[in-house]
Structure formats: structure tokens, C-alpha cells
A and B are shown apart, each in its own frame.
Chain A
Amino acid sequence: MKAWIGKTQRNRVVVVSGARTPFAKAGTKLKGCSAVHLGVSAVREAMARAELSTGQVDEVVMGNAGTPADAANIARVISLRAGFSEAVPAYTVHRNCASAMEAVAQGCLKIGAGLAHTIVVGGTESMSNMPLIFGDEMKELFSTLTFAKSNVEKLEKLAQFRPQWLKPVVSIMEGLTDPISGLNMGQTAEILARDFNISRQEQDAFSVKSHQKTVQAQKEGRLSEELAPMVIEPDFDEVLESDFGPRDGQSMESLAKLKPFFDRDNGTVTPGNACPITDGAVALVLMSEEKAKAEGRNILGCISGFTFSGCEPKRMGMGPIYSSASLLDQMEMDFSEMGLVELNEAFAAQVIANQKAWSSDKYAQEKLGRKKALGELRDEILNVNGGAIALGHPVGATGGRLVLTLLNEMKRKHVAKGLATLCIGGGQGAAFVLERN
């Protein structure tokens, strides 16, 4: 696709507020909260911070990858439960790891084109609550028992039953496996580790830094601005005020103990240098710049351009460089103009691979159709407040976090231009350029 460029649109699009729930590793603090509840918690706080009344919103768009069985269009359920009137339409979008980014994109498209003034966007994921699925034999048994007319037919089917039919298919594992390449996400990271010769040590060191940066940011309160604490369901005994996952004191030694998960014999990717499966939600309020200014609103930043690109499913981890190169080219910007970058840490290997490719002329020529390398993706500007390896990656929500956290840091450091970019399972990349005055 061609890049969407803000200044060529009818309206410029700004972010007036944002909020996210604390993120927690799946199966821990937030396992009792449904994806709907997480989404509602984020959305209503974003609305409260903007002091917007629900009657002033044109539409709600939410990203979500693992659709809950009882909330088919989760954005609609979230919208109604967050107090929006029935008259406000809502829809859910899915672009794997960039589902929330896609929601932001949808908001930009509509506001940019003048179809709406105010859209609430974001994403939510409860990976703790992804369904366990029955295999085909059990499905057939249920079907026969329900629909068969004769008892004989039913008994015959029952007689075939084997206990092993009960073994569930873990849908998460299925979801994280790309059907085209047949590889799961971790295996694609292994490929990149080999391509770029990234050692186990390098990956572990990167992960330690990720935890350190996150913990430091937590201690200095740099994350509290985006966080909306939650009273945890279903017992309401505990309050979660900060992300549950970052480890103070993460060390090379403790990481070294872990075994490679995706390639037992020759692999370098472990659960320690990969992002954890996580629960969480993010919401942003997008508005046309004109309206925001007319109402005297606080503007967090402007979305000046975005694009999505396709790449090899086997090497999906390179999505960021493809989409960033494409976007910067079309916006006629140089990468050196970017003061801060958020690049999602799906795997340490994948981020390092991108860093290496960024500054490689060869890669630029062979893969990107460019003469020169993109630039230097320096550590100093990359994921300065930590990343998904420490914070976790709730698939449908992460894109929103990248935008929100980037804007907040741009404000703190008086940075004018920032880049948020993600790799997408299945072989895509998303890139967004954000600007502040």
C-alpha cells in the first residue's frame, strides 16, 4: 500500500489522550480479567483523561487477535460497557501483532478523510483466557451426539471414543504458528539469529538491558503517566498499579540457565530472551487537529504518517525495517531525523537483526531496493523505557502501547519526530511516524 501521509489529508490527526492497563504475564495477576474488562478499563480512563463525554465520540475501533468466544465483536462490547451509547458504532480489527496499530490506522483514515472527528482506538488481549480447543475427533463426536437422529448412530460413535481425543489443542500455540511457512514465531527468530549471526550471549545481554531499562523507568515513574491501575477481578482484593513481569535484577546468569525453546539442539532463542505471553489493553483518543485546537485540548502528538508492508513469513521479524524504509521514503524523511524509536521486542534476536540490517548497505540494496543503509538504529534512542521482553506483548494491544509510550517520552525529551514500528506474525511490518511541536 501507499503510505498514509497526514499532511496530505483533509484533516490532520492528533492524539489527545491515552491510557493502558498494567500488563501482566499470562496466567498471573490479570488472568481473572476478561479481554473485554481490560479493554473497558483502558478506554474509560482514556476518556476520563480527555474529559470527553461519550456522546462526543464518532466511533470505537479496537484491535484484538484472539477473539473471545463470548464477545464476537469485542470493540462493540467494550464500547457499550464503557458507557458509550448504542448509537456509537464500533468494530474490531485484526492484524496479528499490529492489531492495535491497525485500529490507530483506521482512526487516522477516517478522521483524515473527514468522515469523523473523534475516534477512540486501541487494543486488548487476554492471552490467559484464550480458548482450549477440542481436536477433530472430539468435534465429530459432539456433532454426532447433537445432530444424529437415531440412538444407534450415537452409540456407535460413542463406542469409538478414545481418551486421547480429550487432549486439547492449545489455541495460543496454534495462533502463534504461521500456517504458510509452518513455523511458529520463535522459529522465525531462530532463522534471523542464524542469518545475522547473533549469539546466545548477545540475545541474553539485550534482554537484561530490556529489563533494566524497564525497571529504571518504573522506579523513576516514567511509566506511571500511561498506566491506569486496576482493581483485579474477580476478588477485588488486590490492586495492580504497575506492570507485572519486569524483573529487577535480571541477570546473564539466570538467563543462561534457560534452555532454547524452539530448537532444542542448536537454538539460541529462549523464553528469557523472548517476550512473554501477556494480558493487557491500551486505548487512545484520536481527534482532528482542528477540533482539538478549537476545544483547547491538550495534544499529546500528531500522527504524521504510517504504512504497512509485507515480507517473508519465514522472516517476519524483519517487518520493521521493510515498513520503516517504505514509510520514510514516501514521507521524504531521513531516518536520522527520528529522535526516538519504539521497535517491538518480540525476540531479542529479531530486534538485533533489525539493528544490524538498519545500518547495512548490503541489506538495503538486496532487500529494500535502496542504495544506502537506513541509518544507525542506536541503542540510545531505541526502546528507552524498556520493551516487550520485560513488559510483555499482549498481541492485540501492543501497537497502542508503542504509540502512547513514544509520545510521552517525546514530550519528556522535547523530541520532535519519533518512529514506532512492529514486526507482524505472518510476514508484515507496521511503521508509524509521530510528531510533536
Chain B
Amino acid sequence: MEMTKESFKKEMAVFKAEFKEDLFSVAEKSLTLEKRGNIGILNFDQYQEKANKLSTPNMLRLMELFMTIDEDKTIEALVIISRKPTIFIAGADISEIQRMARGEVTSETLMKLQAVFTYLENLSIPTLAAIHGACMGGGTELALACDYRIASDAPETKIALPEVLLGVLPGWGGTQRMPRLVGLEKSLDLILTGKSLDGKRAKKVGLVDKIAPVESLEQKAVAWAQELAKSKKKRTYETHFKDRLLENVPGGKWVIFDQAKKQVMNQSKGNYPAPLKIIEVIKKTYGGDINNGLKVEAKAFTELVTTPESKALIGIFYLQEKVKKDKGIEGKIAGKEIKRAAVIGAGVMGGGIAQLFSAKGTRVRMKDISWDAVAKGYKAAYKIFRKLLDKKRMKPNELANIMERIEGTVDYSGFKDLDLVVEAVVESLEVKKKIFSELDSIVSSNTVLATNTSSLSITEISKAVKDPKRVVGMHFFNPVDKMPLVEVIRGQETSDEAVATVFQYAKKVGKTPIVVKDAPGFVVNRILGPYLNEAVYLLLEGVSPTRMDQVMEKFGMPMGPIALLDEVGLDVAAKVSHVLHQAFGERMKPPTAIDRVAQEGRLGKKSGKGIYLHSDGKRSEDSELLSKLGIKSSKEISDDEIVKRLTYVMVNEAARILDEGLVREVADIDVGMIFGTGFAPFRGGLLRYADAVGPDSIVSDLDVLARDHGTRFEPCQFLQQLSVENRKFYQN
């Protein structure tokens, strides 16, 4: 679609009639044109906002400026630059995407916005984007529509097309202009993963042409523009043979697309339409007429944006934004800054926590009872850092700097001047209380004392210290370096300051925290408890482990329940199941099989056999075990029933957690499940899924299951009420 002056003026009139004129005047203040001799400089500095976004008013303003530039023959080259300190352009306005999702904006409108960048691309003068800071989505597409790009080498500079992470695809020409610039393989990689490239890497793949230090970015961009103005060079796109070997071989392109599709299916089990659509669009349009390509792209975008998967992913994006702003408490108490910390216990969790803290700049005293145990902690930390070094993500001197932050010790020396202690020893109330009472007499009164316990009561542990207000739970998940969730547990006496401190520090070290009141299992383990129990019941009723795991992976779990049991460890699972049983009664009663399997030394992946046999990273069914367990193959259980039995017990338990007021809001449950277990993000979370199914449908299914399989399925009061009142978990 071409934008002519007349059609554009019409658009402006429509826009101003539809929306208040104020919006456009804000755009006028945010996007301004400056002339330096024969160079035009388009400055983007969103009025009274931290970030530059490509809202519709901004896009219209850009069009207006491009037309002005086109008519002004004294401008012989154009530089587009942002005046924000760490953001080039953060992308489109997500609320506008949501409006598209509600069907309020059509494919034609999208094509009009595409036309703005096409107009930029077709300007007769050379155009140059000077990029420093975050350059995402639409921002990248704008840069791609320029002839040339120069980026800063600062760490803040990250260039990406992350639309796939919101369940859509780049809709302003990204699927056309990225492959044309960096080649088929690289562009598929970037668009399918949404990953960011820093300045150096972007230059390496050809996404940007030059790098400069941020202090001289503008100066170098303008100087380059002046050269380009003299030579009047517009960009031509050639295939760089050596980078694009595969796609130039006959049949090579089909191999690339085929591989890409296989990878996507493997990782997403076909649950995400966006990556498949992206492959389809690029396959259809690569190397062809760009105007046709843009049309195909726009159509695909409007299809994707209305999918439930996209809505779910955008919902998760907003959840993450909410967590960013959250302090963990009501009120204004700021958490303490953590400069020095200690970890008690250098085992898998303790060592992992020490590694995490040190990686993020905190000095950590890592204490265990013997030097051998301390050595293991160091070794585990070194392994993680070494991987980064080998991937060239870290330099040798950086590794040395970071490792020295971990200070191993077998006594309490160096504990008087700490901001935070995290205890991560065995799950024994007695041992933990002893340690807390020791700490109480050694550390300063300002030190926050946290425990990583997964199954014990924070309130109980806090009784071992004089001032229980400073005791809080900081529950990490295994492996600490990879699992994003931290459950911050508020004991009965825990102060707001302790909660705020740990919550904000968790964010500082890159984790996603939720606040939970002290109760057995907190959120994640409590919800997984009945899920894992149910998986074993199904196993005993004749569902094979492989099938069950396949069904749940298709549902969207990163691994199925039996694989998860083996991963967590049958001994650990058995222990937790007993804690939950004791706390919550009959409905949490674990099948005896879990204990039996654990007692036979089949502890799971860590011992080579659990329910599966594990060797060389592969798992296989153990027919010996299955026959030992005396499985009664009763009637055929459908995939649908498997999913219902496994997921509805989770929903039921989550409802109880809400009813008991253990979390601050419904979304916290979903944050916990997504970031603590990887629960199908494309479903938006456990309770979004429950809402999609409908509480009343869940309640009636649970009633039938209770009748057929036992009281553990009985829907709780909270769920029943939702059903009766025709309400959902989420109110919006």
C-alpha cells in the first residue's frame, strides 16, 4: 500500500476526529526534526515518558515528518536518533496491540502503518538510524527501513524482534526486511526466538553496519550522513555469499525452513501458532515483491493477534511488568540494600544461591560444616561461570573477579557485618532452629535472616530467634541459576521490611518473586503435590509413563509429571507429600507407590533409575518396576481424562490457596506456576486456563471424578462459589 500526500492527509483527519488532538500534539513534541546544514536529524524523545514507543499518533507524526523531509530539497541525508538515555525505541504500544486483539483495529489499518516505513525506505536521500539502548520490535523495523544503521557498543544496546514472545510476528515489515538484510537462517533465528543482539553481535551478522562508543555516536552518525549525502548512496541488498552458504545451494532454502519447523515443533509441541506462522510467511515471501510480502505479513499479524495464545502471552508480559513495579508490600518501606550476604549450606541449593548472589555483585560468605562441603559449593559455582566463559559471555578476569566474591568458611567468622543470611541446609526443623539461634547471637540486629526451606514453617523457625520480625522465607527453585521464581514467605511475625528487602533483592538478582503467607507447601509445591500424586494414581491404573508425559507436554508443561518426579527425586517427592498429607489431610494422601519406589533406591534421575531408567541423558520405561507395582489395567483412560484429572486437582488446590488468603492477588498464583514450574505460558497460567475452561465446567467434572475416584476430587468451597455465582478467577 502506498501512502500519498492526499491519502495521508485523509488519515490525519480521521485520526484527529477519532482521538483527541492532544494525542497528536504530544507526538509533535516527541518527534522533532532538526537541520544541521544539509543533514536532517529526526529526534525521538517521548514527551514526559521514560520510553519511546511507536504509538499510532507517533507513527502518523513520523509520516508527517518523512513527507516534510521528502519535500525539503536542502536535506540530503537523514539521521534518526533517540534522546532517551537507555532506550532507542522500545517497540509498539502494547495496549494498541491489545486493541487489535479485541478486533478493534483491522488489517487495513496495519497496512497503513506499514506504509509509513515503506515511505521511509523509499525516500530518495540516504537514511541512517543511530541506535543506543533498547531497540525492540517496531523500533527495529524502523531501523531496518533505513538504509544504514550505526549502533553503540554499550551493554544497554540490545536489538531484537521479540514479537514472537507475545504470540504475534513483526507486523511492520520485519519479516521482509530482516531476511533481506541478514539472510534467511539468521533472520529465522532472530524472529523465531525473539533474542537480542548487542552492538557487536549485531554488526557481526550485518544487522548494523558500524559501531561507535555512545559518547560519539551522534557525532559519528552525522559525519557518516554527510559522507552519504555526498555520494548519495542508497542501500542495495546483495546476498553475502559466504554467510549464506546454505540458502544459495539448490534446495538449501527448503532445508532451512524444514529444520526451523522441526525445531519449533520440538520445542513448542505445536502449541504456539506464532512461530509456525512466521516460518510460513517468510517461506511464502522471501525473495519476492516486498509489497506483496507486506500484505501477507499484515494478514498473518491480524490472524495471530486474536489467538488465545497471543492474549495469554501478552497477559504474561503484563504480569512481568507488574512484578517489576511491585515492592512486595503495601506502603512505602524500601527494602534494605544487600551489599554483603551469607549462605549457610554449600550444597546444591546453598551453592547455587551463593553463585547467583556473587554473579550479581554481592559478596557472599558461604558456610558449611566441612571444607569438603565448601569445596563442592565452589566447584558447582565455577562450573556455571566456566560455561559462560567458554561461550565467550565472560572474560577470564571477570570470572576471577566474580569467584573471589564467594568466601568459603566453616565457622561464623565474617558474619557480624551482613545484610542478609540465607539458610539452605537439610530440611530438619531442629537443625534449622539451631542454626537460626546461633546466627541470632552472632549477626547484627539489622541482618535479615532468610530460610530456603521448602517444607517447614517460617513461623516455627522464627521462634528460635529473639526478634522473629526479621525472619522470612526466601524459597528458590532448583536449579537456582535457571529457575526464575522465588517464593517470599511471610511468617506470622515477619516485618514488612524483611519482606520488602528479600522481594526487592530477589528482583535485583534477576528472579521473579511472589509473596506468600506461611503455610505448608507455600504455592508451587502445594499445587504440584496433588498433581504428582494423581500422576502416580494414573500410573497405577494403567497409563504408561511415556504416554502420560507426552500428554502433559502436549498440554504445555515443559516436562510431564513422571519425568518431573524423577527429576525432583522420589525421596524428595515422598518427603514433601507426607508433609502435605499431614497438613492438609486425606485429599493429599500420596499413593504408597511413591514411598515404595523411593525405598528401593530408585531415587530418580540422580541415581540412574526412578520410575524411568535413566542413562546417557535418555529415559526409558522400566517394565520390571511397572510389573512390580502391580498395575491393574482397567478401562482405557482417554487423553482428555488424563489432562482433566491432572490439571483440575491443581486448580482445586489453587482455589484453596486463594480462599485461605495466602497470596495477595490471583495473578500471583499464575506467576508462581509459570515461573516456578513452566506451566504452559501460552495458556496464560493455571488460573487463566481454569477461566478459559470455566469454573462451572471444572466443578461439574470434579463432582463426577469424586464420585468415580474418591473424595480427593471434591471441588472446594471457593470453586463451587465461583461456579454458582457464574464468576471467574480473574475479575477483568
- A and B held together in a complex: yes
Q: Which of B99-107, B111-119, B375-383, B720-728 contacts A (4 or more CB under 8 A)?
A: B375-383
Complex alpha-carbon distance, A52 and B376, angstroms: 27
If A81-B401, A231-B375 touch, whether A49 touches B417 (CB-CB below 8 Å) is: no
A333 on the interface (CB 8 Å rule)? Answer: no
Question: What residues of chain B lie closer than 8 Å to A238, measured between beta carbons?
Answer: 375
B405 on the interface (CB 8 Å rule)? Answer: yes
Complex alpha-carbon distance, A229 and B363, angstroms: 19
Cross-interface CB contact of A51 among B375, B376, B379, B413, cutoff 8 Å? B413
CB distance from A296 to the nearest CB of B (A): 13
| Proximity string of chain A (14-53) to chain B, C-beta cutoff 8 Å, 1 when within and 0 when not | 0000000000000000000010110010001101110111
Q: Are B400 and A36 in contact (CB under 8 A)?
A: yes
Cross-interface CB contact of B413 among A48, A53, A231, A239, cutoff 8 Å? A48
CB distance from A90 to the nearest CB of B (A): 15
Complex alpha-carbon distance, A176 and B129, angstroms: 61
Question: What residues of chain A lie closer than 8 Å to B340, measured between beta carbons?
Answer: 53
| Proximity string of chain A (66-109) to chain B, C-beta cutoff 8 Å, 1 when within and 0 when not | 00000000000000111100000000000000000000000000
Within 8 A of A (CB), among B65-91: none
| Proximity string of chain B (494-527) to chain A, C-beta cutoff 8 Å, 1 when within and 0 when not | 0000000000000000000000000000000000
Cross-interface CB contact of A81 among B372, B400, B417, cutoff 8 Å? B400
Interface size, B (range): 20 to 34
B665 on the interface (CB 8 Å rule)? Answer: no
A235 on the interface (CB 8 Å rule)? Answer: yes
Give the number of A-B contacts (CB < 8 Å). 53
Complex alpha-carbon distance, A235 and B381, angstroms: 11
CB distance from A23 to the nearest CB of B (A): 17
Cross-interface CB contact of B409 among A48, A82, A237, A241, cutoff 8 Å? A48
B350 on the interface (CB 8 Å rule)? Answer: no
Q: Are A235 and B413 in contact (CB under 8 A)?
A: no
B659 on the interface (CB 8 Å rule)? Answer: no
Q: Are B363 and A83 in contact (CB under 8 A)?
A: yes
Cross-interface CB contact of B371 among A36, A51, A53, A231, cutoff 8 Å? A231
Q: Are A237 and B379 in contact (CB under 8 A)?
A: yes
Cross-interface CB contact of B407 among A48, A51, A234, A235, cutoff 8 Å? A48
- Most chain A Cβ neighbours within 10 Å, of B376, B401, B408: B408
Within 8 A of A (CB), among B408-430: 408-410, 413-414, 416-417
Q: Are A231 and B374 in contact (CB under 8 A)?
A: yes
CB distance from A54 to the nearest CB of B (A): 9
> Using a Cβ–Cβ cut-off of 8 Å, how many residues does chain A contribute to the interface with B?
25
B641 on the interface (CB 8 Å rule)? Answer: no
Q: Are A51 and B378 in contact (CB under 8 A)?
A: no
CB distance from B111 to the nearest CB of A (A): 55
Cross-interface CB contact of B379 among A34, A36, A44, A235, cutoff 8 Å? A235
Question: What residues of chain A lie closer than 8 Å to B409, measured between beta carbons?
Answer: 48
Within 8 A of A (CB), among B360-417: 363, 365, 371-372, 374-376, 378-379, 382, 400-401, 404-405, 407-410, 413-414, 416-417
In the complex, the chain A residue whose C-beta lies closest to that of B402 is: A81
Q: Are B400 and A239 in contact (CB under 8 A)?
A: no
CB distance from B573 to the nearest CB of A (A): 30
Question: What residues of chain A lie closer than 8 Å to B413, measured between beta carbons?
Answer: 45, 48-49, 51
- Most chain A Cβ neighbours within 10 Å, of B365, B374, B382, B417: B417
- Most chain B Cβ neighbours within 10 Å, of A48, A229, A234: A48
Question: What residues of chain A lie closer than 8 Å to B371, measured between beta carbons?
Answer: 229, 231, 239, 241
In the complex, the chain B residue whose C-beta lies closest to that of A48 is: B414
Complex alpha-carbon distance, A385 and B408, angstroms: 27
Q: Are B379 and A236 in contact (CB under 8 A)?
A: yes
Complex alpha-carbon distance, A92 and B645, angstroms: 69
If A48-B409, A231-B375 touch, whether A40 touches B404 (CB-CB below 8 Å) is: yes
Q: Are B372 and A239 in contact (CB under 8 A)?
A: yes
CB distance from B544 to the nearest CB of A (A): 41
Complex alpha-carbon distance, A37 and B379, angstroms: 16
Complex alpha-carbon distance, A36 and B382, angstroms: 18
Question: What residues of chain B lie closer than 8 Å to A37, measured between beta carbons?
Answer: 400, 404
If A81-B401, A83-B405 touch, whether A239 touches B374 (CB-CB below 8 Å) is: yes
In the complex, the chain A residue whose C-beta lies closest to that of B409 is: A48
Q: Are B375 and A236 in contact (CB under 8 A)?
A: yes
Q: Are A237 and B375 in contact (CB under 8 A)?
A: yes
In the complex, the chain B residue whose C-beta lies closest to that of A240 is: B371
CB distance from A1 to the nearest CB of B (A): 36
Question: What residues of chain A lie closer than 8 Å to B372, measured between beta carbons?
Answer: 239
CB distance from A83 to the nearest CB of B (A): 5
Question: What residues of chain B lie closer than 8 Å to A235, measured between beta carbons?
Answer: 379
| Proximity string of chain A (225-268) to chain B, C-beta cutoff 8 Å, 1 when within and 0 when not | 00001010011111101000000000000000000000000000
Cross-interface CB contact of A82 among B379, B400, B404, B416, cutoff 8 Å? B404
CB distance from B442 to the nearest CB of A (A): 10
Question: What residues of chain A lie closer than 8 Å to B375, measured between beta carbons?
Answer: 231, 236-239
Question: What residues of chain A lie closer than 8 Å to B382, measured between beta carbons?
Answer: 234, 236
Within 8 A of A (CB), among B125-170: none
Within 8 A of B (CB), among A132-187: none
In the complex, the chain B residue whose C-beta lies closest to that of A70 is: B397
Question: What residues of chain B lie closer than 8 Å to A40, measured between beta carbons?
Answer: 404
CB distance from A28 to the nearest CB of B (A): 18
In the complex, the chain A residue whose C-beta lies closest to that of B374 is: A231
If A236-B382, A241-B371 touch, whether A231 touches B400 (CB-CB below 8 Å) is: no
Complex alpha-carbon distance, A231 and B407, angstroms: 10
Complex alpha-carbon distance, A238 and B374, angstroms: 10
In the complex, the chain B residue whose C-beta lies closest to that of A17 is: B413
CB distance from A11 to the nearest CB of B (A): 24
Question: What residues of chain B lie closer than 8 Å to A47, measured between beta carbons?
Answer: 414
The 7 closest A-B pairs by CB, nearest first: A48-B414, A236-B379, A239-B371, A48-B413, A51-B416, A81-B404, A236-B378
- Provide a sorted-by-A list of 7 A–B residue pairs whose CB atoms are within 8 angstroms: A36-B400, A44-B414, A48-B409, A48-B414, A51-B413, A229-B371, A239-B372
